[in-house]
Structure 1
């Protein structure tokens, strides 16, 4: 994208582009339009609405007011869909004008999807239509291969057409199967260029990044729909032959691949591929010396007769490999050990790398999935396109709840509860977490008032309820449950510490796990392999929870300390959730729900965990100067939040209630955690959140505690006018303690001035207010000035630097003399001119308590600057900065 950013499109460029499109007939323009429809909707959703409407209005295509009203009424997505549809219905000139408008728009809005679409149209020229039609209709195959293809598609259809909804573990309920088109929800796939070493648990980090994308005012997130995975890559100016899709555990990588294959079978995408071969690395692990031909025939024996002919046209083939992170082979994509023949025997890793590197079946395409942690350790440059599944955005989350509960009232109730709970809502971007959360809430929202009291507030409580539900569905005595979960827990802990996700029968024997127990099947799933049975937990987080729980079931101070310290030492952050569970279980009320099944869990373990948390907190809270330390500090806060132990928070943080998290990206989840920490204090000296990108959702999560802050700084957070409702509720809180507030350099306009005026009028504590570097000039700014000029206004320091003030505002600025408390005023970097002099002079001379006024970088002449300086002799107590 960088090669496009900053490029200035002039009128000659526009004429060339229009000429390029004008060569197409209307039916050809229609083909292009339909091909890019999803992109166009997303682009219109993402860029500034008025910018695109003004360009269209300039070309006399649409009315700005009509579509502005439509967006307010229907929302961004419906507005974008209707605009795209309406343009097409208006005919050829409108379609050409629309493309021309988008072309001009890249000057100010270089959105990656917009740049990609325009580049594909320009670079691919006449061949683009041919490729579009090929993807729609496919190749003409010989009769024998057509019959073979039909048989292959039927085989894959049986494998991919159904989605199975997990049964509630421990219950007699049978799994339900649904057609994939009924239950599949679109997952957001975003482009990504590199995978660095991670400093956070991948689930937490991706959740934070995910919410950050949601909050960006003009998102630079490039969305890659499944039908765009093998389309033009504008960064490299090519059609990618190899694509890798990353995603955290449970986010839907395998389901996305299943839907991809199903849509190919249904003729919805990529008919350029005559044959698709779908493999899972997990099932390929036992293969040693093998050929590509044998790999294919082992999975697809019906191709034996025609395989040689199929492999003769590699450009018609797509190989899908799911789960690179589950491969037992060390796959190095920069390896020079390659093969060229599909018939020669080689190691599996050599065959996979050779397909990606194009030494084997040159022209074929490869699609692969992996967890981010695996990609962080390999060189992915060989893949022209690297993507990451971001999971569910809010609309998909809500739809998932509706599908799960099937009852509108209950699904709305459950979703509202989760939406209000910052921790649970963050984790809802992962489909498997959605299932766990919905499963737990389905128990809590019964017609039983007691169950509502058990609603989870933390992730630890969520998994406690999940486990208790499994145990309640089993008739075994508590002794059996404790014995089994102790042995399973130690095996799970060994896996977390050693990074094992799969266990063999030998592992079960080592940890004395009874694999004949029905209870075991509620936590682990069996997978038959050629060399034996492989066991894995339903979800990585279940493994992490049981690994933490075992330290309370079978307490050993030495083992607990060793596990805690080892989990802290992982630089990729994979021990974070384990530590959070350990911390969460230290809360007696959280543990008590497990008492009917295990008896009293170790209170000694709880005491040791609290001591370890105290030590961990002391080691990081005194070092908050750089990003790494701030991340560690927030991880400690997250553990304290899980523990629900406000006394521990006060003890570990002490009386130094200064929280400086400036210039560190705070995800909404971080804000939820920080809010709990702030709750633990009656009063907080300083909260510095400058340049933290918190924006609306983060502010909402902090809102209940902001009134406790004496010095609150929210500069450079791209806040919008609608965010001022939170500032209003904070300043008008009956116990508000805010003395100093900075809203400097945000996205506030004159629309926020009325809300600010009412808040200041009702507030009793505010003395220092900085509104600099916002676009406040406008009609409503006079309302704010009126309040700031009132004799009852308590504000002493006022920052109005660079807020677009012109000479028209000078008479009203003079009214600030009415504020008898004003001591410091900053009016620098505005557009005040010589005509403002008399008003500014009177302001300086008549503001009796004024100590400093800043007027530098306005439009004063040298003569007026000299006059202003001369006022210093009349008011020597006032420092006049020019």
Structure 2
């Protein structure tokens, strides 16, 4: 009898010297089982080692600009919920979302628990779809989940994790089997047998469905059951997601909300949503990102001040936090407070200028000016935005831009290379965030119009030279408004906001001074403002209305508040739609108005209006809600605000309303919250 150590297990072999006795089938089975187990353990260890080496660093900008840190030091817990809520498109909706979080309307789920059964479920979900807006943290969540498995700190009930990105899978044109696909990307497991896949617990991660250029034809693709059958990549993925191929394996798909419909709902067992940061997580992020604690606190204080309240709300997006930190770290020490960015467009204009300065510090000389290179990037951004491409490859670039220039502008255009993992070792490009692509596209369209009066916006012709009566900037603005309103998926909404914001004098001065852009003659934006107001009156879509109010804010128009006052004074508040009230909340947050005292009677006395103005209630110290026709309907929302750590509410007057016992109980729940700061309640 001899003891053999294989993969940490002591296997005992017994040799019987009886030549007349037939072979013992039990011993043969045991040997085969031992060999299989040892092979699986070796492949698993090798895969963990590889993935551990690929996931320790968090790159928030690009690998080239050195903006990386250790994942475990920088990672800030994300707010993930179980279930499918509405897409969050605007600042006021973020605050409403925070209220839902506190009122337990949404079930928070830990990252490591997304494949575990809930209390009311018997079996764990096999196929999970995780949704989230651009830059919200989906890919970082995948990286953290994979890293924890590779380092042995979590998710150890899974034998193998194979993380893929659609941006890489787009490059595969050849037919192959699933076993070949895995082996090409993860050579560490090439020795796995077909039977090993069947006996192992496997998780496939498919990150970035919104970046996929595959048809994903679930209806017409043929059935594929064997991992050794050769077929198209599209067929492999649809059969894997359907559960036909490796039916015991788990699949995790991440996607932006608009693209999530590419996967039929019958093949998804659980939907989760990454909602980014709450206020506590924002503070944690800035403290980690900005190593100087005093400076980090100064940035937080500034973002929470009156002029920047709406930008702080937008910091629920982690990548927006990074952009804000990048800009404000640079500006707070050298820029007068009055010149600091107050709108999203101003923030991104400063961001572009900062990246330009970084480029100028590098050893790169060319006859081209900063504006020339920025315009090339803008042309690329605009043309790819028209095609709906978020990721593009060398074939997409062609002669549009020199690849060296793209690499030099490392803070703006990201070069992503995984030479060791892919079949094709081809360079892939994307802007660090969709909003950066939209910003550059808007800048390119605007400057082309200013320089040559060419309108590049989609039409029957690619562009046309404008007649004299159509040479005003307001004509371009109107075409952009029509373009945004005509797209049901909101593809041009943020582009429109940037286009209007970049047309403003302050941003034009910045671009002229720092990057040699032409400065347009100061004009009257009233034609554009009047056109937007006319469109608002005829719109029924809340999201479209809200985006147009964002646009009015970029144009510096505060007339909505005056309209609300007029309607209120005349008693005709019925003319103000719910979406208008939501926009009022945003405009109040964006204004310099003192919001310490919130008096609902200044607007309208109803539960519905209060619910739409919750973002304002949240930042107020005193709320005067007496005699406002409120019922128990509003109490859960008030309770939610009281429970928010970020709420500053200290005095609340709810007298002379019909709240009922049920409403008072909800208020009491908020009062018992450890986060409640209320001092006076009437």
Normalised-by-shorter TM-score class: 0.7 to 0.9
Shift of 1:655: 6.1
Specify which of 532, 540, 553 is matched with residue 641 of structure 1. Answer: 553
Residue 366 of structure 2 corresponds to residue 452 of structure 1:
no
With over 3 angstroms needed to count, the CA separation of the structure-2 counterparts of 1:152 and 1:507, relative to structure 1, is closer
Specify which of 175, 178, 200 is matched with residue 67 of structure 2. Answer: 175
Give unpaired runs (5+ residues) of structure 1: 1-138, 196-201, 725-747, 758-769, 779-882
Match of 1:522?
411
Which deviates further from its counterpart, 576-585 or 714-723? 714-723
Distance in 2 between the 1:305 and 1:252 partners? Answer: 34
With over 3 angstroms needed to count, the CA separation of the structure-2 counterparts of 1:168 and 1:611, relative to structure 1, is farther
Q: Deviations over 1:224-250 (max 9, x none)?
A: 212221111567653211111112121
Q: Deviations over 1:97-141 (max 9, x none)?
A: xxxxxxxxxxxxxxxxxxxxxxxxxxxxxxxxxxxxxxxxxx997
With over 3 angstroms needed to count, the CA separation of the structure-2 counterparts of 1:537 and 1:573, relative to structure 1, is same
Match of 2:634?
717
Specify which of 385, 390, 401 is matched with residue 513 of structure 1. Answer: 401
Match of 1:673?
587
Alignment of 1:745-784 (within 5 A): 771-773=657-659
Specify which of 450, 453, 473 is matched with residue 358 of structure 2. Answer: 473
Distance in 2 between the 1:613 and 1:437 partners? Answer: 28
Match of 2:445?
551
Distance in 2 between the 1:330 and 1:776 partners? Answer: 52
Match of 1:846?
none
Residue 189 of structure 2 corresponds to residue 303 of structure 1:
yes
Shift of 1:385: 0.6
Residue 489 of structure 2 corresponds to residue 594 of structure 1:
no
With over 3 angstroms needed to count, the CA separation of the structure-2 counterparts of 1:531 and 1:277, relative to structure 1, is closer
CA contact (8 A) 1:334 1:379 kept: no
Specify which of 429, 434, 438 is matched with residue 540 of structure 1. Answer: 434
Distance in 2 between the 1:393 and 1:218 partners? Answer: 14
Shift of 1:342: 0.3
Match of 2:671?
none
Provide the secondary structure at the position in 2 that maps to 1:341: coil
Distance in 2 between the 1:428 and 1:662 partners? Answer: 29
With over 3 angstroms needed to count, the CA separation of the structure-2 counterparts of 1:461 and 1:486, relative to structure 1, is same
CA contact (8 A) 1:274 1:317 kept: yes
Match of 2:76?
185
Shift of 1:495: 2.6
Provide the secondary structure at the position in 2 that maps to 1:473: helix
CA contact (8 A) 1:246 1:389 kept: yes
Distance in 2 between the 1:459 and 1:488 partners? Answer: 20
Shift of 1:514: 3.3
CA contact (8 A) 1:662 1:688 kept: no
Provide the secondary structure at the position in 1 that maps to 2:117: coil
Match of 1:620?
536
Shift of 1:689: 6.0
The CA RMSD over aligned residues, in Å, is: 4.0
Q: Deviations over 1:739-794 (max 9, x none)?
A: xxxxxxxxx9xx978x578xxxxxxxxxxxx523356999xxxxxxxxxxxxxxxx
With over 3 angstroms needed to count, the CA separation of the structure-2 counterparts of 1:478 and 1:694, relative to structure 1, is farther
Distance in 1 between the 2:402 and 2:501 partners? Answer: 28
Distance in 1 between the 2:605 and 2:63 partners? Answer: 45
Give unpaired runs (5+ residues) of structure 2: 1-33, 457-475, 595-600, 643-648, 665-682
Shift of 1:298: 0.3
With over 3 angstroms needed to count, the CA separation of the structure-2 counterparts of 1:327 and 1:694, relative to structure 1, is same
Provide the secondary structure at the position in 1 that maps to 2:414: strand
Q: Structure 2 length as normaliser, TM-score?
A: 0.74
Which deviates further from its counterpart, 434-443 or 661-670? 661-670
Match of 1:331?
216
CA contact (8 A) 2:115 2:125 kept: yes
CA contact (8 A) 1:586 1:610 kept: no
Shift of 1:703: 8.5
CA contact (8 A) 2:416 2:427 kept: yes
CA contact (8 A) 2:561 2:584 kept: no
Provide the secondary structure at the position in 1 that maps to 2:108: coil
Residue 246 of structure 2 corresponds to residue 361 of structure 1:
yes
CA contact (8 A) 1:211 1:426 kept: yes
Specify which of 137, 140, 154 is matched with residue 49 of structure 2. Answer: 154
Shift of 1:419: 2.7
Shift of 1:451: 4.2
Which deviates further from its counterpart, 382-391 or 227-236? 227-236
Residue 58 of structure 2 corresponds to residue 166 of structure 1:
no
Shift of 1:558: 3.7
The structure having more radius of gyration, on CA atoms, is 1
With over 3 angstroms needed to count, the CA separation of the structure-2 counterparts of 1:375 and 1:167, relative to structure 1, is closer
With over 3 angstroms needed to count, the CA separation of the structure-2 counterparts of 1:777 and 1:310, relative to structure 1, is closer
Distance in 1 between the 2:366 and 2:311 partners? Answer: 32
Shift of 1:531: 7.6
Residue 288 of structure 2 corresponds to residue 372 of structure 1:
no
With over 3 angstroms needed to count, the CA separation of the structure-2 counterparts of 1:700 and 1:140, relative to structure 1, is farther
CA contact (8 A) 1:668 1:701 kept: no
Specify which of 696, 699, 705 is matched with residue 617 of structure 2. Answer: 699
With over 3 angstroms needed to count, the CA separation of the structure-2 counterparts of 1:264 and 1:514, relative to structure 1, is closer
CA contact (8 A) 1:245 1:387 kept: yes
Distance in 2 between the 1:334 and 1:193 partners? Answer: 25
Provide the secondary structure at the position in 1 that maps to 2:369: helix
Specify which of 5, 30, 38 is matched with residue 143 of structure 1. Answer: 38
Match of 1:107?
none
Alignment of 1:578-589 (within 5 A): 578-589=495-506
Match of 1:38?
none
Which deviates further from its counterpart, 248-257 or 560-569? 560-569
Distance in 1 between the 2:581 and 2:323 partners? Answer: 23
CA contact (8 A) 1:194 1:386 kept: no
Which deviates further from its counterpart, 244-253 or 594-603? 594-603
Count of aligned pairs between the two proteins:
577
Provide the secondary structure at the position in 2 that maps to 1:204: coil
Shift of 1:660: 5.2
Match of 1:223?
108
Shift of 1:223: 1.4
